[in-house]
Amino acid sequence: TNLKTQLAKFLYEDAINIHRFLQDRDDNFYSRYLEELESEKFIAGDLISKEGYDPSHVYFIMNGVVHNIKTNRYFERGQMLNQAEVMTFSPIAGDLFAKTDVDVLKYDKNTFNLILDQF
């Protein structure tokens, strides 16, 4: 497990440095949950999350800008999307569009809730 943990930390070093949620975790977290992160890219103008829908993922923005049309709020590198809705079992509060090309890492909502319950 030590080798697996060190490899996971190395492969996801940027994500750990950028996102507070991934920082200061124990080796059990890193060896178990970093490999659960999925990568996705959105092109400027793409819809990331639709208002009123059940969120399926929590997104960690690695690069780019996301715009919430309803609140006119912008999200950038280092911020998370849909975490409040997943944590409170609420529908998505506003359409989220990629303002620029956006790179994200994401957890499905079940994995994210499992992490919250265990850590």
Per-residue pLDDT at 1: 64
Residue 99: partners with Cβ closer than 8 Å, 6 or more residues away: 44, 64, 65, 66, 67, 74
pLDDT tops 80 at residue 19: yes
Query: Across residues 28-53, what is the average pLDDT?
Result: 94
Beta strands in 31-85 (DSSP E): 38-42, 47-49, 57-63, 66-68, 73-75, 80-81
Q: Is the pLDDT of residue 22 over 70?
A: yes
Instruction: Label residue 87 by pLDDT band (50, 70, 90).
Output: very high
At 8 the pLDDT is 86
Average pLDDT over residues 76-80: 97
pLDDT above 80 for 52:
yes
User: What is the pLDDT confidence band of residue 31, given thresholds at 50, 70 and 90?
Assistant: confident
Q: What percent of the chain has pLDDT over 70?
A: 98
How high is the mean pLDDT of the chain? 93
Distance CA 119, CA 116 (A): 5
Query: Distance between CA atoms of 100 and 20, rounded to whole angstroms?
Result: 23
- Is residue 3 scored above 90 in pLDDT? no
| pLDDT for the residue 4 | 80
